[in-house]
Amino acid sequence: MSGPLDTLGAAARARLVRQARPEWSAPMLATLTDTPFSDPDWIFERKLDGERALAVRDGDRLRLLTRNRKKIGATYPELVRALAAQPCGAFIADGEIVAFDGAVTSFARLQRRMQLTAPDEAERSEVAVYYYLFDLLHLDGYDLSALPLRRRKALLKAALDFADPLRFTPHRNAAGEALFERACASGWEGVIAKRAEGRYVHARSRDWLKFKCSHRQELVIGGFTAPHGERVGFGALLVGYYEGDRLRYAGKVGTGYDDDFLAAFRAELDAIAQPDSPFADKVDEREVTFVAPRHVGEVAFTEWTRHGRLRHPRFVGLRRDKPAREVVREEARG
């Protein structure tokens, strides 16, 4: 044991597990809630509007992986270089890749980078990206999952050198409601609350809670309507969520697209068109083309109607970091 791990006391060392660095480590996920709170036993972080990613390094081998294990290093070569230059040669770190529109992280702006898969193209992109790291799962041959969150964050800060494009995610102790008010006033997506003494659980947990300033969630794309007038590509996307094995219809999303996306995504949809509806519910729309439910989009909306439809939905962007079968209706829990 050496480096930052030397700073651990006997009690913390006893919670370490000697382990070869795994090929994959499932990320911890937060549970949606609608009740902001303050508590000295919790820390509170800004909820970033980007792409969740794990950084996995083993000597000269460095991988950036989405939460569904897709390799994305070619899209973010500057992040790969920064991580590969770290003095620490073996780690798994958790974080969020973001792009900014002014002072606010913008998933829509990040989409312009996410579409690039050639490193030279990505290098020329005008969209600057940053990797906000907020947790450390594995370090120098030890699994850190059983350590308290505050200790993991301290080890993260000590183990890596933080300079752009790598950034350490700051947090506020205790005062969650004040940070949530600031978040919503500043146009942020929301706040993540984390139990300060909690371990890293490789699943969804109520030890991490998310408070959103507006309604947004991921939805599965199961079809589209025909364009009319000067519209290109498609008119609206038909979206839904899984309830068990059934894909429930949540409505159509007709705004939030530019012409380039409309044309390019229509070509992708045509390649997976199918004659039958993937939805368990009746879709009462005209000129519909159904598609295999493979793509996931993020949608902003004002509320759910009593019939389970989205009210005033707006498309935010495609998500490649979540499998379609994992998309369920998110409902806040107190």
Sheet of 39-47: strand order equals 29-32, 204-212, 190-195, 39-47, 172-174
Residues 128 and 250 reside in one and the same domain: no
Residues 191 and 106 reside in one and the same domain: yes
When the pLDDT of each residue in the chain is averaged and rounded to a whole number, the result is: 94
This prediction's pTM:
0.80
User: What pLDDT does 35 receive?
Assistant: 87
Q: Is residue 9 part of a domain?
A: no
Q: What is the mean pLDDT of residues 181-193?
A: 92
Domain containing 159 — which CATH number? 3.30.470.30
- The count of structural domains within the chain is 2
Domain boundary among 212, 240, 259: 212
Q: Is residue 122 part of a domain?
A: yes
Which of these, 99, 95, 73, 76, lies nearest to 156 by C-alpha position?
95
Query: Does the pLDDT at position 234 exceed 70?
Result: yes
Q: Is residue 4 part of a domain?
A: no
Could you give the CA distance from residue 294 to residue 278 in angstroms, rounded to a whole number?
11
Q: Please list, in sequence order, all residues whose beta carbon lies within 8 angstroms of the beta carbon of residue 167, skipping any fewer than 6 positions away.
A: 130, 131, 132, 133
Q: What is the mean pLDDT of residues 315-333?
A: 89
Cα-Cα-Cα-Cα torsion 101, 104, 106, 112, nearest 10 degrees, comes to 30
Q: Tell me: the pLDDT tens digits for 52-89? A: 999 999 999 999 999 999 999 999 999 999 999 999 99
Residue 212 DSSP symbol: E
Could you give the CA distance from residue 310 to residue 239 in angstroms, rounded to a whole number?
10
Residues 170 and 203 reside in one and the same domain: yes
Domain boundary among 186, 212, 238: 212
Q: Is residue 15 part of a domain?
A: no
In this structure, is the dihedral angle defined by the CA atoms of residues 88, 92, 96 and 98, taken in order, positive or negative? positive
Residue type, 229: G
Q: Is residue 34 part of a domain?
A: yes
Residues 145 and 29 reside in one and the same domain: yes
Q: What is the mean pLDDT of residues 269-287?
A: 97
Of 30-34, 198-202, 273-277, where does mean pLDDT reach its minimum?
Answer: 30-34
Q: What is the mean pLDDT of residues 223-235?
A: 96
Instruction: Give the percent of the chain with pLDDT over 70.
Output: 99
Q: What is the mean pLDDT of residues 129-145?
A: 97
Residues 271 and 220 reside in one and the same domain: yes
Query: Does the pLDDT at position 97 exceed 80?
Result: yes
The first and second tokens of residue 251, run together, are 């409505």
Q: What is the mean pLDDT of residues 268-275?
A: 98
Which of these, 172, 321, 307, 168, lies nearest to 251 by C-alpha position?
307
Residues 192 and 63 reside in one and the same domain: yes
Could you give the CA distance from residue 88 to residue 62 in angstroms, rounded to a whole number?
12
Query: Does the pLDDT at position 126 exceed 90?
Result: yes
In this structure, is the dihedral angle defined by the CA atoms of residues 87, 89, 95 and 96, taken in order, positive or negative? positive
Long-range contacts formed by 305-308: CB under 8 A, 24+ apart: 308/248, 308/249, 308/250
pLDDT band at 303; cut points 50, 70, 90: confident
**Count, residues in the chain:** 334
Domain containing 266 — which CATH number? 2.40.50.140
Helix (H) or strand (E) holding 13: helix 10-13
Residues 297 and 171 reside in one and the same domain: no
Residues 152 and 175 reside in one and the same domain: yes
User: What pLDDT does 23 receive?
Assistant: 86
323, burial (CB in 10 Å: exposed 0-12, middle 13-18, buried 19+): middle
Query: Does the pLDDT at position 175 exceed 90?
Result: yes
Q: Is residue 2 part of a domain?
A: no
Using alpha carbons only, what angle is made at residue 157 by residues 154 and 163, rounded to the nearest 5 degrees?
165
From the list 47, 153, 210, 252, the catalytic residue is 47
Active site residue 47: yes
Whether 281 contacts 251, CB under 8 Å: no
Q: Which domain holds residue 135?
A: 24-212
Q: Is residue 126 part of a domain?
A: yes
Residues 260 and 144 reside in one and the same domain: no
Instruction: Give the percent of the chain with pLDDT over 90.
Output: 86
Residues 260 and 289 reside in one and the same domain: yes
Q: Is residue 8 part of a domain?
A: no
Residues 40 and 142 reside in one and the same domain: yes
Domain boundary among 192, 212, 232: 212
Residues 52 and 163 reside in one and the same domain: yes
pLDDT band at 2; cut points 50, 70, 90: low
Could you give the CA distance from residue 59 to residue 56 in angstroms, rounded to a whole number?
10
Widest distance between CA atoms in the chain: 70
Whether 173 contacts 40, CB under 8 Å: yes
